[in-house]
Amino acid sequence: MRTWILFLLLAWQQSALAAETLPDRRVPGGIAAVDSGLPGAESRPQAWFRGRRVLVLPAGEPPTWHALAGLPLALEPGTHHLEFIATAGKTRHPIVVGTHDYPEQRITISNQRQVNPAPLDLERIGRERKLMDSAFRAWRDTGTPQWRFVLPVEGPRSSAFGLRRFFNDQPRSPHSGLDLAAPAGTPVHAPAGGVVSRTGNYFFNGKTVLIDHGQGLVTMYCHLQEIAVTEGQLLERGDTIGKVGATGRATGPHLHWSVSLNDVRVDPDLFLESAGGR
């Protein structure tokens, strides 16, 4: 009886995956969902884009293997190519990336070191960047990750993804995540299952947690008041990972939430269950 229940549960999960619409928004900061044409019954192929391995999962009816490739905010519009590697050989698939004009955001920071860091600050920032980069670039072989997310904290969106940012009228890198405003001390929850790959208290990001969901899908949570998890800890959706704060470069309590695919920060909205795969 138990065997039949497990079989039916597996069949339901595969059916749900097959029916799910994948996010596909081919602009800088978006995602390209690329169909390999290879049946889902075959072994999972590898997919590569711009020198980095890409998440592959089954979708469609009947299911075929699809790649989900993150498109960098700095990617030039035009035709790029993704490569699938399977037992039968290699295939190249074009990805036509369009243009998208993200709005500006101008922020006034009273702490001048958070705008123009001192030499010792720059050394610290460099060390911390290497730690975070190693977490973003890690590849953890898994089955299909739980890639549909719920919001890690409820609250108004105080800064959208991709904003062209100016701090004290000085241009800086585009906003690589989604800011959610909430009172200090509000619990922050894991939007999906994964493993805590990095925690730290960083110059710009403040108290931070990174979660590895598998196959190059990594999420980051910044400016926390408290961190409630440890590196290597297994998480399920809904587990508390910390509390909203204003540590690091922050003008008030909020959560900065980043989603990364193949070491590319992409729009978190594309992963939300409420997005419907838009």
Contact partners, residue 48, CB within 8 Å, separation at least 6: 54, 82, 83, 85
CA 160 centroid distance within chain: 14
> Residue 93: how many CA atoms within 13 Å on its side-chain side?
20
Distance CA 176, CA 173 (A): 8
Express each pLDDT in 115-151 by its tens digit: 677 889 899 999 999 999 999 999 999 989 999 999 9
Percent above pLDDT 90 for the chain: 70
113 falls in which pLDDT band (50, 70, 90)?
Answer: low
Distance CA 109, CA 28 (A): 28
Element (H, E) at 3: helix 2-19
What's the pLDDT at 15? 40
Mean pLDDT of the chain: 87
What's the pLDDT at 20? 64
Contact partners, residue 150, CB within 8 Å, separation at least 6: 189, 191, 192, 237, 238, 272, 273
Express each pLDDT in 222-263 by its tens digit: 999 999 999 999 999 999 999 999 999 888 999 999 999 999
Express each pLDDT in 80-94 by its tens digit: 999 999 988 999 999
205 falls in which pLDDT band (50, 70, 90)?
Answer: very high
CA 250 centroid distance within chain: 21
Cα distances from 41 to residues 9, 66, 254, in angstroms, run 17, 13, 44
Q: Does 174 score more than 90 pLDDT?
A: no
What's the pLDDT at 19? 42
